[in-house]
């Protein structure tokens, strides 16, 4: 189970927050001050942190600054709460990359949703920009000159558990652009090896023996050999799966046959791949390793290609970022066009007619703001759906993007799975708008055709009094016939009778009380005869 650390100086608030976390199925640890929180972070290593902003002594922001400076907690999901959810506090919390800032008293449902998202993704936005070059250099220094596959696998697996969240029963490791990665299941019967230069950015490799009776998840490559089945998938550091990723170099995927199946003899068994569209198994070229007896094949794409064919224009002058977006979006079936010079973008939109335009990190800032204003102000190009990627060091980039009609702003550097998700969601919205426009156009055409065929419209004639009385009599007779069939009483003149109000047993059993007429004091004083009768 996941562990949630709750930091608040008020015991009542800690109890309320702990009840929400425990109701969601999480373990809870509590701290009453900032100093206790820092000590608990080192001892317990929680999966998420709920932090009060206003505390005596070391406040929440001071604690959060130390959390972000520590290597072990730099990507820890943090939900901040406080009595004063001012714009200044929100901006400061956003700079420290919190999941959200919730005002007190905390909305229970909102807190549960934030916890669920934070634990699913590991962090809404990575606290630091990922620099793969520094990570590769550090790993090289740790390994030395002998970059054997075993050492690479151990070094990559040491940090994979912290960087990528695997599901139950999955083996997880990190695949880097320079060193690649290798992973095998604990029983040693399934293995995947991806060479260096196969991926444009660091990704997570997930491996799991699967149940053939259950269909694979979207974006998962399923293979089998005899009775053994294997699921392979990729993900980014936000926890989002990467669909249909094409590798620069083919990966080797192997499954060891069962004893007595003819291991070591080529052609005795064939590896097969599951086709999710047709639901059939397709044979793959299979080679038997004479030393280990493992049957393996090479795959240049991990996962099926998406069926969507969205036309996307990518504006990105940086070649590395453009390549990463190309590999990511081709996996979900997008038709891509690239443009490096921002002044040519309107012309490209008019010529290629893309559905989505992505403004990459290379044009982030004032240049990108001017470009999106130009696109949205032109009636010929305002139809496109804009997705902007901001620079990680520019906290206020594209502050006015939503007012200009931009659909999404992603904090760079963008992760591949997240980009696939944002583009897929935007294209679904485009298709829905197209269907709605087509229905409206068809309705307009039918109306125009009916107007052309028919005579000029005549004013509607109102019924006479005799006709109105006849209609009312017919309606009353119909109600009476219906009531007679149901065994009801006679229908009144103005419709059905209302059902009698239910009488409670207390009212039914009570003795009848004599109703006494009360007169006002002023009336008795004004009428002496009535006053005498009242006295008698």
Tell me which of 1.10.287, 3.40.50, 2.60.220, 1.10.3470 is the CATH number of domain 132-302: 2.60.220
Q: What is the pLDDT of residues 476-511, one digit of tens each?
A: 888 888 777 765 444 455 444 555 555 555 555 555
Given pLDDT bands bounded at 50, 70 and 90, which one contains residue 13? confident
Mean pLDDT for the stretch of residues 389-411: 74
Instruction: Give the contacts of 258 (CB within 8 A, at least 6 positions apart).
Output: 226, 227, 228
Instruction: Give the contacts of 234 (CB within 8 A, at least 6 positions apart).
Output: 175, 203, 204, 205, 206, 241, 242, 245, 302, 303, 417
Helix (H, G, I), strand (E, B) or coil at 464: coil
Question: What is the per-residue pLDDT for 160?
Answer: 42
> What tokens were used for 61?
């922001």
Question: What is the per-residue pLDDT for 251?
Answer: 92
Q: pLDDT exceeding 90 applies to what percent of the chain?
A: 7
Q: Indicate whether 155 pLDDT > 50.
A: no
The more confident residue out of 349 and 279 is 349
Q: Indicate whether 344 pLDDT > 50.
A: yes
Q: What is the pLDDT of residues 456-476, one digit of tens each?
A: 555 556 778 888 888 888 888
The CATH architecture one would assign to domain 311-428 is 3-Layer(aba) Sandwich (3.40)
Q: pLDDT exceeding 70 applies to what percent of the chain?
A: 75
Question: What is the per-residue pLDDT for 219?
Answer: 80
The more confident residue out of 528 and 16 is 16
Which residues pair with residue 81 across a beta bridge? 52, 102
Q: What is the pLDDT of residues 309-325, one digit of tens each?
A: 789 999 998 888 888 89
Nearest to 52 by CA among 75, 76, 30, 24: 30
Mean pLDDT for the stretch of residues 88-97: 78
CA angle 401, 406, 410 (to 5 degrees): 80
Question: What is the per-residue pLDDT for 159?
Answer: 42
Nearest to 357 by CA among 378, 381, 379: 381
Burial 386-399 (b: 16+ CB within 10 A, else e): bbbbbbbeeeebbe
Q: Indicate whether 153 pLDDT > 50.
A: no
Q: Indicate whether 303 pLDDT > 70.
A: yes
Question: What is the per-residue pLDDT for 336?
Answer: 92
Given pLDDT bands bounded at 50, 70 and 90, which one contains residue 348? very high
> What tokens were used for 367?
């240049």
The more confident residue out of 144 and 449 is 449
Work out the number of other CB atoms within 10 angstroms of the CB of residue 204: 25
Tell me the average pLDDT of the chain.
Answer: 77
Q: What is the pLDDT of residues 209-253, one digit of tens each?
A: 887 778 888 788 898 888 888 999 898 877 788 888 889 899 999
Q: Which position has the token pair 């400076």? A: 69
Mean pLDDT for the stretch of residues 293-301: 89
> What tokens were used for 346?
């309107």
Task: Specify the range with the lowest mean pLDDT, choosing from 12-26, 285-299, 401-415.
Answer: 401-415
Going from N- to C-terminal start, the domains of the chain cover 3-121, 132-302, 311-428
Helix (H, G, I), strand (E, B) or coil at 474: helix
pTM: 0.53
Asked if residue 141 lies in contact with residue 96, where contact means CB atoms within 8 angstroms, the answer is no
Q: What is the pLDDT of residues 40-86, one digit of tens each?
A: 888 888 888 999 988 888 888 889 888 888 767 777 888 888 876 56
What gap in Å lies between CA 330 and CA 308, rounded to an integer?
Answer: 10
Q: Indicate whether 262 pLDDT > 70.
A: no
Q: Do domains 3-121 and 311-428 have the same CATH topology?
A: yes
Helix (H, G, I), strand (E, B) or coil at 250: strand
Question: What is the per-residue pLDDT for 358?
Answer: 92
Task: Specify the range with the lowest mean pLDDT, choosing from 24-28, 190-194, 399-403.
Answer: 399-403
Asked if residue 334 lies in contact with residue 312, where contact means CB atoms within 8 angstroms, the answer is yes
Burial 255-293 (b: 16+ CB within 10 A, else e): bbbeeebebeeeeebbbbbbebeeeebeebebebeeeeb
The length of the chain in residues reads 536
Q: Indicate whether 178 pLDDT > 60.
A: yes
Given pLDDT bands bounded at 50, 70 and 90, which one contains residue 338? very high
Question: What is the per-residue pLDDT for 126?
Answer: 32
The CATH architecture one would assign to domain 3-121 is 3-Layer(aba) Sandwich (3.40)
State how far Cα 450 lies from the chain centre.
46
Question: What is the per-residue pLDDT for 7?
Answer: 93
CA within 13 Å, CB half, 200:
19
């Amino acid at each position: 189970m996941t562990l949630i650390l709750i930091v608040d100086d008020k015991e009542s608030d800690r109890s309320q927050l702990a009840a929400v976390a425990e109701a969601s199925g999480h373990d809870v640890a509590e701290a009453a001050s900032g100093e206790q929180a820092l000590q608990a972070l080192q001892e317990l290593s929680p999966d998420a942190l709920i932090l009060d902003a206003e505390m005596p002594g070391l406040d929440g922001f001071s604690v959060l600054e130390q959390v972000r400076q520590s290597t072990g907690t730099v990507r820890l999901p943090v939900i901040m709460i406080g009595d004063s959810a001012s714009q200044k506090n929100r901006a400061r919390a956003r700079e420290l990359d919190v999941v959200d800032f919730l005002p007190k008293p905390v909305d229970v449902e909102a807190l549960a949703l934030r916890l669920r998202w934070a634990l699913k993704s590991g962090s809404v936005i990575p606290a630091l920009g990922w620099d793969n070059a520094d990570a590769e250099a550090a790993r090289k220094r740790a390994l030395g000159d002998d970059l054997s596959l075993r050492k690479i696998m151990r070094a990559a697996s040491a940090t994979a558990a912290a960087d990528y969240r695997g599901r139950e029963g999955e083996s997880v490791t990190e695949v880097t652009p320079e060193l690649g990665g290798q992973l095998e299941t604990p029983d040693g019967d399934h293995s995947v090896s991806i060479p260096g230069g196969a991926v444009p950015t660091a990704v997570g490799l997930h491996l799991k023996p699967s149940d053939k009776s259950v269909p694979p998840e979207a974006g998962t490559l399923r293979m089998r050999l005899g009775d053994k089945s294997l699921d392979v998938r990729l993900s980014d550091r936000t926890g989002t799966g990467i669909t249909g990723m094409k590798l620069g170099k083919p990966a080797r995927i192997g499954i060891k046959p069962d004893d007595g199946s003819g291991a070591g003899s080529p052609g005795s068994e064939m590896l097969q791949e599951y086709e999710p569209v047709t639901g059939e198994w397709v044979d793959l070229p299979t080679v038997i390793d004479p030393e280990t007896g493992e049957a393996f094949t090479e795959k240049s794409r991990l996962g099926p290609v998406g069926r969507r064919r969205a036309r996307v224009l990518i504006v990105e002058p940086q070649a590395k970022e453009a390549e990463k977006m190309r590999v990511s979006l081709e996996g979900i079936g997008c038709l891509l066009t690239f443009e490096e010079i921002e002044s040519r973008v309107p012309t490209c939109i008019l010529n290629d007619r893309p559905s989505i335009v992505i403004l990459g990190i290379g044009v982030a800032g004032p240049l990108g703001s001017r470009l999106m204003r130009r696109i949205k102000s032109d009636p010929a190009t305002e139809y496109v759906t804009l997705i902007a990627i901001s620079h990680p060091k520019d906290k206020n980039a594209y502050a006015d993007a939503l007012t200009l009609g931009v659909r999404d702003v992603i904090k760079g550097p963008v992760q591949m799975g997240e980009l696939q998700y944002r583009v897929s969601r935007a294209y679904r919205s485009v298709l829905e708008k197209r269907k709605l426009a087509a229905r409206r156009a068809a309705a307009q055409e039918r109306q125009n055709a009916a107007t052309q065929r028919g005579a000029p419209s005549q004013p509607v004639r109102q019924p006479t009094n005799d006709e109105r009385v006849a209609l009312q009599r017919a309606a009353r007779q119909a109600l009476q016939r219906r009531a007679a069939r149901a065994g009801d009483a006679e229908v009144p003149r103005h419709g059905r009778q209302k059902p009698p109000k239910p009488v409670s047993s207390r009212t039914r059993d009570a003795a009848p009380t004599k109703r006494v007429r009360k007169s006002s004091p002023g009336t008795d004083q004004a009428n002496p005869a009535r006053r005498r009768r009242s006295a008698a």
